[in-house]
């Protein structure tokens, strides 16, 4: 188990992500959350691609996002990501967006996921089928719970 | 006050909305919810464009989405939209997605909004500043509460 | 061979398609072209889904788009679509965007496609493998050439 | 005039940029081109944001994209960007996408732009109104012509 906590996903909004209100369109945050968890899994040596190549798909069961401050083109942000809960069959991430060099919370959000066999399209219990991936989620959950 | 309830927003997924899992990417539902409320406001004779032209902006405070069934390219869906709550300063929509000709719930979701003056960027109370728009929300809230 | 020409794809821009210039972001037109050709193929009784279900994939070889007038949220547009060329292995569509009730050209564009076997990922000649689909493209090409 | 040539925009495709063909949807390349030119302008100390803050808007006049190889989730790519022509009122960028560590051309593309006054919405000649920005484009044009 590594002691290193993932230091957050850095992002600058793209021009095409703005809308005519002059801010980032709210739907894009859901996409940023996905970018953040993809980078987290890379960091944990358990990439999305490897997971999919291992025959596991990770559908999204639900998402939520709370917009507290507007984010604009030209801003630089950091997305922190924690595991809020992990039951072996269900995984919930929590996201917090900050200015890259500040601690004002701009946005919070969550996403919940399950694990399906790509072959059977049925739920799998990672602990049984993929204990190594299971352990990675267990460890990161333990780490982020302590924060 | 009209007796007619909005009959729902019909949509077919676009090819570019699918992802490599072969389903509509979850972020697009947040965009569909926006499409549905834009069409609802048109239906209620109170279009987004007219609202913006009247100097009101309607930021999104939060969204949520619960994915119960997968939606694929080639499917036809209907998005029902209700007002879950309306306080005069805050408006919450509820969305339910069905197959166009069925009653299986594929997705549920919500979005909450406030009203800002485009000029001052400050919160406005529609009842005071725009009573006609206020009444439209009150009426639709009353209608959809009864359903 | 039907005498009916496809009358064009009607579309209103979505709010999330605007950018902070207050116009529809230029990348979305490429997506609209796809929507138009998907609807055209439906109209020609040869839907994208049926084509994919028949084991054919239709990659995009190139696209181009020329922006002549700005399109904004609240506008209503019509996309006309013609087959510029069809060789049996390569298909080029031409797109023209107009205001829904006008004849000012707002945008022009093209997209070229080939046909691959989903199984072998190799080029196929529709005339040989799928003569019925081949004939549909031949006919629409002949029709739109005359316009 | 700096001797340093911009070394290219590095990018990994996002999951939400894939489609059900299992590749990056073709429309996203147009967005990547924008990301690349935004980063190039940052590199040239003449950011999009500063340009917009100076009252200049840079509409897109046309785009083109030629897809030569498929790009998938998990790939790492580099987008080289050159100025193909610059007339003082019109600027054309050329883009070439490579694997991050290879020289196989995956994609080529172009985008042309003019310069408008945000205030008057009329064309401006940068040489006259903003000679410093004009010089930056002249210099980068000269550099990339020599490559």
Sequence spans of domains, chain C = 9-146
Rounded to an integer, what distance in angstroms lies between the CA atom of residue A146 and that of residue C39?
53
- Comparing CB atoms, the residue among C20, C27, C73 nearest residue A18 is C20
Neighbours of chain B (3+ CB pairs under 8 A): A, C, D
Chain A, chain C: beta-carbon pairs less than 8 Å apart: 27
Q: Please identify every residue of C annotated as catalytic.
A: 19
pLDDT-derived band at D17, boundaries 50, 70, 90: very high
Residue D3 has pLDDT above 90, yes or no: no
Q: Is B87 on the interface with A (CB under 8 A)?
A: no
- The per-residue pLDDT for A5 is 80
Question: pLDDT, tens digit, for every residue of B27-79?
Answer: 999 999 999 999 999 999 999 989 999 999 999 999 999 999 999 999 999 99
Percent of chain A at pLDDT above 90? 91
pLDDT-derived band at A145, boundaries 50, 70, 90: confident
Residues in chain C predicted with pLDDT less than 50, given as ranges, are: 1
Judging contacts by C-beta atoms under 8 Å, the chain C residues touching residue B10 are none
- The per-residue pLDDT for C1 is 46
Rounded to an integer, what distance in angstroms lies between the CA atom of residue D112 and that of residue D50?
20
Judging contacts by C-beta atoms under 8 Å, the chain A residues touching residue D16 are 31, 34
Residue B147 has pLDDT above 80, yes or no: no
Question: pLDDT, tens digit, for every residue of C114-129?
Answer: 999 999 999 999 999 9
Report the chain D residue with the minimal C-alpha distance to residue B18: D19
Question: pLDDT, tens digit, for every residue of D27-60?
Answer: 999 999 999 999 999 999 999 989 999 999 999 9
Q: Is C119 on the interface with D (CB under 8 A)?
A: no
Substitution target from C19, C21, C70 for chain A, most A beta carbons within 10 A: C19
Rounded to an integer, what distance in angstroms lies between the CA atom of residue A143 and that of residue B46?
50
- The per-residue pLDDT for D144 is 85
Residue A1 has pLDDT above 50, yes or no: no
Which of the residue ranges A1-10, B50-59, D128-137 would you say has the lowest mean pLDDT? A1-10
Substitution target from B14, B16, B20, B30 for chain D, most D beta carbons within 10 A: B20
Instruction: Give A4 to chain C, closest Cα distance, Å.
Output: 38
Q: Are the Cβ atoms of D20 and B16 closer than 8 angstroms?
A: no
- Comparing CB atoms, the residue among D15, D47, D48 nearest residue A38 is D15
Question: pLDDT, tens digit, for every residue of A89-131?
Answer: 999 999 999 999 999 999 999 999 999 999 999 999 999 999 9
Report the chain B residue with the minimal C-alpha distance to residue C28: B16
Rounded to an integer, what distance in angstroms lies between the CA atom of residue C71 and that of residue C76?
9
Judging contacts by C-beta atoms under 8 Å, the chain D residues touching residue A31 are 14, 16
Judging contacts by C-beta atoms under 8 Å, the chain D residues touching residue A38 are 14-15
Q: Which long-range contacts (CB under 8 A, 24 or more apart) does D77-80 make?
A: D77/D10, D77/D11, D77/D12, D77/D13, D77/D106, D78/D8, D78/D9, D78/D10, D78/D11, D79/D8, D79/D9, D79/D11, D79/D32, D79/D33, D79/D35, D79/D36, D80/D8
- Locus of tokens 């138009």: C36
- Comparing CB atoms, the residue among B60, B66, B70 nearest residue A67 is B60
Closest alpha carbon to D29 in D111, D136, D127, D125: D111
Chain B, chain C: beta-carbon pairs less than 8 Å apart: 26
Closest alpha carbon to A9 in A51, A37, A48, A44: A37
CATH of D9-146, one of 3.40.50.1110, 3.10.129.10, 3.40.50.880, 2.40.50.1020: 3.10.129.10
Neighbours of chain C (3+ CB pairs under 8 A): A, B, D
Which one-letter DSSP state was computed for residue C81?
Answer: E
Q: Is C63 on the interface with D (CB under 8 A)?
A: yes
ipTM: 0.94
Helix (H), strand (E) at residue A96: strand A90-99
pTM of the shown model: 0.96
Please provide the average confidence, as pLDDT, over all residues in chain A.
94
- Locus of tokens 């230029």: C26
- The per-residue pLDDT for D134 is 95
Closest alpha carbon to D145 in D104, D96, D85, D63: D85
Please provide the average confidence, as pLDDT, over all residues in chain D.
94
DSSP string, B124-139: --HHHH-HHHHHHHHH
Q: Strands (DSSP E) along chain C, which ranges? A: 9-11, 56-57, 60-67, 77-86, 90-99, 107-114, 116-117
Rounded to an integer, what distance in angstroms lies between the CA atom of residue A42 and that of residue D11?
15
Closest alpha carbon to D38 in D27, D30, D47: D47
3-class SS at B61?
strand
Instruction: Give A65 to chain D, closest Cα distance, Å.
Output: 18
Residue A81 has pLDDT above 50, yes or no: yes
Judging contacts by C-beta atoms under 8 Å, the chain A residues touching residue D76 are none
Helix orientation angle between D27-43 and C27-43, rounded to the nearest 10 degrees:
170
Q: Is A125 on the interface with D (CB under 8 A)?
A: no
Please provide the average confidence, as pLDDT, over all residues in chain B.
94
Which one from B3, B19, B62, B139 is the annotated catalytic residue?
Answer: B19
Question: pLDDT, tens digit, for every residue of D98-107?
Answer: 999 999 999 9
- Comparing CB atoms, the residue among B14, B16, B49 nearest residue C73 is B49
């Amino acid at each position: 188990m590594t002691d290193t906590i993932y230091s957050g996903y850095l992002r600058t909004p793209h021009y095409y992500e703005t809308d005519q209100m002059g801010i980032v369109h709210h739907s894009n945050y859901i996409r940023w959350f996905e970018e953040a968890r993809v980078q987290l899994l890379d960091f944990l040596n358990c990439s999305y691609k490897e997971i999919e190549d291992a025959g596991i798909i990770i559908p999204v069961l639900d998402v939520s996002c709370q917009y507290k401050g507007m984010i604009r083109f030209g801003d630089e942000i950091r997305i922190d990501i924690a595991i809020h809960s992990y039951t072996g069959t269900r995984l919930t991430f929590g996201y917090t967006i900050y200015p890259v060099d500040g601690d004002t919370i701009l946005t919070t959000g969550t996403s919940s996921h399950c694990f399906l066999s790509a072959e059977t399209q049925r739920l799998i219990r990672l602990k049984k089928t993929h204990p190594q991936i299971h352990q990675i989620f267990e460890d990161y959950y333990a780490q982020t719970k302590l924060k």
